[in-house]
Amino acid sequence: MSRQVDRESLTLITGAAQGIGGATARHFDTLGARLALNDREASPALAALCAATDAVAAPADITSRDDIRSMIATLTSQHGPIGTLVCNAAYMTMAPFLEHEPGDWWKIIDTNAAGTLRVIQEVLPSMRSLGGGRIVVVCSYWGLTGWPDASAYAASKAGLISLVKTLGRELAPEGIVVNGIAPGVTATPQLEVDARAAGLSVAEMHRQYAAGIPLGRIAHADEIAAGIAFLADRRLGAMIGTVLNVNGGEVRARA
């Protein structure tokens, strides 16, 4: 059954130039969504994806509230209100807790947790003008389990899980439906960070992660994109503050 995403108002996807964000943009394009694609800066990858999906490029650094406000003001004035938001932008480095440089540790929190919060805050007036909307936050199963050498990333994603649950309850009376998705290990360029931290090739990193997953493999970005489209479906109005676990069976939790 085809997903019924919003085809009238704008869908904004952050961190869209590659990985899960790029896969989500391509998936939503097949469903007929009107897309605005964000990444930290303009790039050939973002331009190529926008051309392929007939999307509007919306570069902005989500650690800067001024950047976000300018981006959203431009989008809404030129293309109309934003009715669907996919918060996918993230930053990750890995290091043992006591060796992680404090400025970088807090940059992860500021990008992943505070950056997502800023984007949602600035998009809410647009959704309220429409009388409702859909927000999907890309969390991580590391936010449920924690992970060695990833204290900041896991903490940021745990914060997003709590944010999804809280905003789900707070915004539901306005018709703004908030849910999240917690991908397990997924084949995206982010795994290069894991591989460097472990001193392994990317292929070997894939194999090691797959060995601990009941399904026997890591996820594909397209599978996460399909889960995001499910959560953004306009017919799915009673699912509120839920975090969908997509991890090949490695983590099974009521979240």
Please identify every residue annotated as catalytic.
153
- CA dihedral (140, 217, 5, 45) in degrees, to 10, reads 80
Q: What ranges make up the beta strands (E) of the chain?
A: 10-13, 34-37, 56-57, 82-87, 133-138, 176-183, 243-246
Which residues make Cβ contacts (< 8 Å) with residue 209, sequence separation at least 6? 185, 191, 194, 218
Which residues make beta-bridge pairs with 102?
A: none
Residue 9 tokens read as: 């108002």
CB 45 within 8 A of CB 69: no
State the DSSP string of 117-180: HHHHHHHHHHHHHHT-EEEEEE--THHHH--TT-HHHHHHHHHHHHHHHHHHHHHGGGTEEEEE
**Helices 151-171 + 115-130 axis angle, to 10:** 20
Residue 29 tokens read as: 């394009």
Distance (Å, whole) CA 16 – CA 201:
25
Distance (Å, whole) CA 70 – CA 88:
19
